[in-house]
Amino acid sequence: MRTLTLIPANTNIRFIDRRMIFFWASALFIAASVILFAVRGLNYGIDFTGGLLIEVRVPGGADLGRMRRQLSDLGLGEVGLQEFGAPTDVLVRVQRQAGGEEAQQRAVDAVKSALGTNVDYRRTEFVGPKVSRELYWSGVTAVGFALLAILVYIWFRFEYQFGVCAVVALAHDVLSTIGVFSMFWFEFNLSTVAAILTIAGYSINDTVVVFDRVRENLRKYKKMPLADLLNRSVNDTLSRTLMTSLTTLLALFSLYFLGGEVIRGFSFAMIWGVLVGTYSSICVAVPLLLYMRIHKRPSGPVEDPEADAEETPQTP
């Protein structure tokens, strides 16, 4: 029985030889992400900013211009309207009102009075200032602890040099995701934080697979130059990496196009994370090992004493 193989067994793409191209491309992208975040910031959702969120459905389609005029004269401060999936669904965002719950309820009543009874009010949420600050710092803390835990895990499973390379690749994935959200002004909320944590887990899974092959080849090929050994390790796992990424993307694209507006931000973040996580595992984490002074020949049994006689495959 034949199995599906995307990459031929004797493939030898010279990833390590092109490492400076990858490093410069990643550095430029990360710099752009940091600049975008510093200058433009993020489109924080109500989870992080606090305020009112009212989801309405307007039969026959919503006239956002007319609705905006109806709400602009209420004196509620900043009011934003956004189509939510279908043209009949609209999200109304109202900034947090001064006062307690009674002030927020008055704002909700004012919005409902202005829009009338011909619309269907499907959801009303309020997030207070204390809760929004707690959610923001909880999200930051969760990402930070996740990166630290991954560093410790890789350190104990391999060596600390591997852990440093893995965390650099993960930071690359997280910062690039934030940059994309800032560039396209997608809403950044708790589901996005959940997506970032999921991206970290997915990316480190890819990285560990390649690192396992690197460790195996370090024991197997005693005289092979380190650059060739790393390149061989990447090519050995390339088919598995691409198959995993493609099957994951199939599910994520289905969620993005068919799952509705509620999880669209999460789905987009995951799609981007799978793409950039696959790239960073191959083109960032492994090439960085060249500069980390890893122990070229770790202790342990030699799996193939005659492997050193094998000729390193060369790209034509």
pLDDT per residue as tens, the chain (316 positions): 455 566 666 777 888 999 999 999 999 999 999 999 999 998 887 777 778 888 888 887 887 888 888 887 788 777 778 777 777 888 888 877 777 778 888 888 888 888 887 888 888 887 766 666 777 788 788 888 887 887 788 778 777 888 888 889 988 998 999 999 999 988 888 888 888 888 888 888 888 888 889 888 888 887 888 888 999 999 988 888 888 899 999 999 998 888 766 678 889 999 999 999 999 999 999 999 888 877 655 444 444 444 444 444 444 3
- Please tell me the predicted confidence (pLDDT) of residue 316: 38
Q: What is the pLDDT of residue 189?
A: 81
The tally of CA atoms less than 13 A away on the side-chain side of residue 156 is: 5
Long-range contacts of 142-151 (CB under 8 A, 24+ apart): 142/193, 142/197, 143/174, 143/193, 143/196, 143/197, 143/200, 146/197, 146/200, 147/171, 147/174, 147/200, 150/200, 150/204
Is the distance from CB of 50 to CB of 93 less than 8 angstroms?
A: no
Q: What is the pLDDT of residue 299?
A: 47
For each of the domains in the chain, give its residue range(s) and CATH number, in order of start: 16-42+132-309 (1.20.1640.10), 51-127 (3.30.70.3400)
